[in-house]
Amino acid sequence: MICGNCGHDHTKRKCGCIPDVFWQQADVREAVARSDVTRIVRLLRARTDLTQEAIANMTGLSQGMVSQVESGKRSLRNQTKKSRALEGLGVPQVLPQESACGDTRTDVDQRSSVPMDPTSHGMSSHPCFSDPTSSAGSLGLLHCLPDTADDLVVGMLTDELRQLASAYVHHPLPPLVPRLVALRNRAFGYCRSGARPRLLQRLLLAAGASTLLLAHAAQNLGDRYAASAHLAAARRCAEYAEHDQLRSWVLGSAALFAEWLPAPDTAAQHASHSYTLMSSGHTAIRAAAVEARAFARLGDRTRALQALDRLQHADAIERTHDDFGITFGGLFTFPQAKQEFYRGSVHLLLGDTATARHHAAAALKAYRSGPAQERSYGDEALACVDLVTALLRLGDLEGAERGLSALLQLPKEKRIQQLFPALAALSQLLSQPQFRRNAHVREMRERIRCYRVLDVSMTGIALPLPQ
């Protein structure tokens, strides 16, 4: 039988793809006795350096099937395929027996006098190379260097993460959270069970990015403890991967969470650090935007406007292929509509009411006329609050009432937790003396009082913490 991987003959012992010592292990012998190809494939991936492609070549299965078998998504049950796979792997007709101490020297000594073909992977005919105790040391090394993921697996994880990052922007959270948890668990699972160095960083990025999405989900649902725990896990991924894009994004998220506490001084520090790590692309634009708003909350006009200048500078630089906004898209982007929203918020906090109205209106127009997948319902709602606030300050009660009516029609599952402090500030504005006698204003204030934002207790969804 010719090996489908190396082209050498199994029966003449010229194929060295699978070490003899592999077939001598108790769990392997048990799997062979049951013709359990699924188990054998998983053991081969865990204990040898065979790639999924090599196993596919030997068994006659597709690489995709081998990947699914290894990950536990499928098992091989077709008897014809099982027989063909066992034959292709070169399973010995009679498995060598293990002694009490695991020494199979007798069987090997009988073969050691037979010269090995010098073409069989450079192995010499010296008895040391035939002795399973010597190859066991090499196999032990393979135990230390497991390889459970390949480019196909990592690519599938990245594609799914890209879909979820996009859906996060414009779909309600409850259906997305279980999928995010499952994706995070798979990514961490591959990291724990072992991966080649060139793939490990990509797995850590997938794990870190999915954990970041869970952190934002927890924040939007009002679970600050879970948000902090997920953020800490994402930071660990960033540090272990030594990846500045992920580091910068984690810091940007920490800044955003601090801003809503509110702790604007801490937010400004985190955002500034985020920008120093990444001074261009979506990640940098976001860092500058959050920094500008944090300084505006502190009343520091000069530094807030300087941060807006940095935003504009970062936006003018051409995006690179490793930009998170390009790699994952969705929540990891910072499109023009979102930039307008942040500019409006900054100017509103600085007292530039007319400018704030302009940017808030531009943000709403961009969200409502742009691609559906970029229509962030959370940011759109907050921009609407900013516009209503600006209109009230400018004395346009009719326009403010129309804007508030549109906001209050937002479905319950899209009312993120950050709306609560924003609406509280709006209600406080409506309570000022110049508005108290206006019946329309009283009605607006009552509608805000009865408004309920999304809360984790309302959804019934779980946000399991990272282990």
| CB burial string 14-49: b at 16+ within 10 A, e below | bbbbbbbbbbbbeebeebbeeebbbbbbbbbbebbb
Are 272 and 237 contacting, i.e. CB atoms less than 8 angstroms apart? no
Residue 394 phi, psi dihedral angles, 5° rounding: -90, 0
The dihedral sign for the CA sequence 466, 226, 346, 448 = positive
DSSP-assigned letter for residue 79: H
What is the C-alpha to C-alpha distance for residues 285 and 351, in angstroms, rounded to an integer?
A: 23
| Sequence letter at residue 467 | Q
* CA proximity to 202, closest of 277, 146, 150: 150
Percentage helix, strand, coil, to 5, in the chain?
70, 0, 30
What pLDDT is stored for residue 14 in this prediction?
58
**pTM of the complete model:** 0.68
DSSP alpha helices (H): ranges in 145-259?
151-170, 176-193, 197-220, 224-241, 244-259
What pLDDT is stored for residue 147 in this prediction?
64
Tens digits of residue pLDDT in 8-26: 776 655 577 887 777 878 7
* Residue 465 pLDDT level (bands cut at 50, 70, 90): low
What is the C-alpha to C-alpha distance for residues 330 and 427, in angstroms, rounded to an integer?
A: 32
- 170 vs 146: which has the higher pLDDT: 170
First to last CA, the chain: 47
CB atoms within 10 A of CB 458: 15
What pLDDT is stored for residue 461 in this prediction?
52
| Sequence letter at residue 387 | L
Instruction: Strands of 336-418 (E only): list them.
Output: none
Average pLDDT over residues 354-358: 98
The dihedral sign for the CA sequence 209, 214, 220, 226 = negative
366 pLDDT exceeds 90?
A: yes
Residue 9 phi, psi dihedral angles, 5° rounding: -85, 125
- Count of alpha carbons within 13 Å of 270, Cβ hemisphere only? 22
Average pLDDT over residues 361-382: 93
Q: What proportion of the chain, given as a percentage, has pLDDT over 70?
A: 84
Tell me the residue length of the chain. Answer: 467
Radius of gyration of the chain (CA): 30
C-alpha pair distances (Å), 125 with each of 14, 114, 129: 12, 8, 7
